């Protein structure tokens, strides 16, 4: 019996794919941080090269924007402060 193929999400082929170094620069972090996000599957990424081999990894710009937006904390207003008290 053959294994079912994993679901593959589509990316825009015209979208820019960032290297780990470029993603780190956008995030103002070391290269280790985007690598950890990839290892923990906390961000979408593309693996280039032959299936089953390690190959090169690229991060779509949209995935980086989604990751940043997901961590966005809105500021509290004066009415929010009084509600929290």
* Closest to 27 in 3D by CA, of 80, 70, 85, 57: 70
pLDDT in tens, 3-38: 655 555 667 778 999 999 999 999 999 999 999 999
**50 vs 56, residue with greater confidence:** 56
The mean pLDDT value of the chain amounts to 86
Angle between helices 20-27 and 32-39 (to 10 degrees): 110
Task: Write down the residue that tokens 């190959």 correspond to.
Answer: 55
24: its two tokens = 């780190």
- Neighbour count for residue 13 (Cβ, 10 Å): 6
Q: What is the pTM of this model?
A: 0.73
pLDDT at site 13: 79
């Amino acid at each position: 019996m053959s294994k079912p193929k994993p679901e593959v999400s589509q990316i825009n082929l015209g979208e820019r794919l960032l290297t780990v170094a470029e993603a780190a620069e956008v995030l103002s972090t070391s290269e280790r941080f985007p690598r950890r996000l990839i290892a923990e599957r906390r961000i979408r990424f593309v693996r280039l090269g032959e299936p089953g081999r390690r190959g090169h990894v690229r991060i779509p710009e949209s995935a980086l924007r989604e990751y940043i937006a997901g961590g966005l904390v809105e500021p509290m207003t004066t009415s929010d402060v009084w509600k929290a008290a």
